Amino acid sequence: MAGAKSYPTFNDKEWDAELRLLFEERLNTIHKQEHTSASLQESHEQIIKKAVCLALKKTESEWGKPPAHFAFFLMGSGGRLEQSFWSDQDHGLIYESSNEEDASYFLHLGRDIVYALEKAGYDRCDGNVMASSPKWCCSYETWEEQLKYWLREDRWETLRYTLTFVDARSIYGKHELVERLKQATFQFIKTQPRMIKRLTDNTGRLKKGIGLFNQLLVETKGVHKGKFDFKQIVLFPYVNGLRLLAIEQQILSSSTVDRFQQLPNEHDNVKKMKESFERLLEQRVKWQKGIDQYEHIHHLTIENLSKDEQRQLKIWVREGHRLYQTIERLLKG
């Protein structure tokens, strides 16, 4: 980078060597071992944290210590503790400063984190939901304003950004910042009763998974032609439904399983599906083992599933869709 000072403590060569080692470690701990869904999350967490530490070391070697407290958080499947073997990057950063120079520091840190994670095998996010983007790397005050703006703006994209943020989970730094921001957001939503309806609309399109003849529906076009879109059809109705209930109930946890757990007993009809969802996550780990590219991780080859597995998959499709519709009715009145 032009103008950047290079300290002997962590030069580019060392940095790349460390990242290569990290990728090796990723292969060993994630891809060459048997996993449960929980152990898979732990392994990802370790790799991601190490990548963040390395990125911080790199930024510190050039720009010095962080000028303010900050929290680095994951969103998407990482935030929800639902990562598969491969996943892309969805993350952001909050810092306690409104100084412009500090903003540059953290954006730089964000860029180093993106680079490190990419080298560790996490694809860049197509939608640029990453701490290297000014939209996802802001001071606490800016974040608060931005979230209110997103909600008031009430467009499809801005509401989608808000829902993305709700899955935030701090993994490095001052975790409290993320929690405070979430609380403030939940409070703001509470003051505008129609907002929860708008958020419900935002994720209301359920992708059909079962055809008229009780057959599993596969993609008819594109690179995944012939494959079953597991993420959109099976996973998302549960994830999106529980996120909406979490907003309504002001549950700070970002994992879908924890959200199930923390729902009050009045939502018993939803809570009782927790075990089924946990089994779903476990089964997904089995099905997706061996898929070697992020691009293909969310699409299943139906022919590889046994009759029983296909039957179970259909049960989950129906249950998830029913669950989302129940939640939708509940929130939209």
Chain residues binding other proteins by CB under 8 A are 208-209, 211-213, 215, 217-218, 220-222, 225-226
* Torsion (CA) 294, 36, 24, 71 in degrees, nearest 10: 80
Smaller CB separation from other proteins, 226 or 264: 226
Smaller CB separation from other proteins, 116 or 218: 218
CA distances from 176 to 48, 149, 290, 325 (A): 20, 22, 37, 33
Smaller CB separation from other proteins, 64 or 226: 226
- CB 184 to other proteins: min, Å: 41
Tokens of 192: 């505008």
Cα first-last separation, the chain:
55
- CB 224 to other proteins: min, Å: 11
DSSP states along 115-173: HHHHHTT-BPPTT--STTSGGGEEEHHHHHHHHHHHHHH--HHHHHHHHHHHT-EEEEE
Smaller CB separation from other proteins, 220 or 265: 220
CA distances from 330 to 255, 266, 267 (A): 21, 12, 10
- CB 145 to other proteins: min, Å: 41
- CB 8 to other proteins: min, Å: 48
Q: Any residues with CB less than 8 A from the CB of 204 and at least 6 apart, and which?
A: 328
On the CB side of 287, how many CA atoms lie within 13 Å of its CA? 26
Smaller CB separation from other proteins, 150 or 316: 316
- CB 102 to other proteins: min, Å: 43
Smaller CB separation from other proteins, 208 or 272: 208
- CB 48 to other proteins: min, Å: 34
